[in-house]
Structure 1
Amino acid sequence: MNSSLVMDIMQQALLVILKISLPLLGISMIVGLIIAIFQAATQIHEQTLTFVPKLVTVAFLLIIMGSFIISIMTEFITYIFSLMTKLT
């Protein structure tokens, strides 16, 4: 195993992490921004007002994107296992 192969594996792992987490984090940040604007406009500063909508949004996105996340992870695991068989 040479350093270029290790760097390729790390690059693929980072891309998988970004593909999985960016949609969830992006939507969560947008919901948080909308709620922060609402709180600033109404001067309601309740902590649960930000937590519950973000939690519901992320849970809903996980339900919708579950098959996409599993397919991305399956492709990466297949890639890793194919590299492991080539090592012997």
Structure 2
Amino acid sequence: MSGPEVLDLARQAIYVQLIVSAPMMAVALLVGLAIALLQALTQVQEMTLVFVPKIVAIFLTMLISLPFMAQALSGFMTLVAQKIVTG
């Protein structure tokens, strides 16, 4: 493979990584924002209060988006395998 092909493959890998991680990152951001607002309203400033709801929300999001994630990663792996076979 030439230099531009390697760079194109790396660009696609970064794009797949962003697509796969985006739902969980967005949910973590929204849950963190909601808990920060709740803490500001109630003036309960417990640092560990954020972690459990965030972990549960990310886990549920991962379960829901797992077929989408598998499809994106499978498509990228197929592309990488084709590049390996064709040289």
TM range (shorter): over 0.9
Q: Which residue in the other structure is 2:23 paired with?
A: 23
List, as ranges, runs of 4+ consecutive aligned residues in structure 1 with deviation greater than 3 Å.
none
Provide the rounded CA distance (Å) in 1 between the counterparts of 2:26 and 2:63: 16
Q: Which residue in the other structure is 2:85 paired with?
A: 85
- Within the alignment, does 1:76 sit opposite 2:76 as a pair? yes
Provide the rounded CA distance (Å) in 2 between the counterparts of 1:58 and 1:27: 7
Q: Which residue in the other structure is 1:57 paired with?
A: 57
Matched length: 87
Structure 2 unaligned blocks of 5 or more:
none
Provide the rounded CA distance (Å) in 1 between the counterparts of 2:22 and 2:66: 14
Give the CA deviation at 1:77. Answer: 0.4
Tell me the amino acid that sits aligned with residue 27 of structure 1.
Answer: V
Structure 1 unaligned blocks of 5 or more:
none
Q: Which residue in the other structure is 1:48 paired with?
A: 48
Higher mean C-alpha displacement, 45-54 vs 31-40: 45-54
Give the CA deviation at 1:63. Answer: 0.6
Provide the rounded CA distance (Å) in 1 between the counterparts of 2:80 and 2:43: 51
Provide the rounded CA distance (Å) in 1 between the counterparts of 2:23 and 2:69: 11
Q: Among the aligned pairs, what percent are the same residue?
A: 34
Q: TM-score, normalised by structure 2?
A: 0.95
SS at match of 2:50: helix
Q: TM-score, normalised by structure 1?
A: 0.94
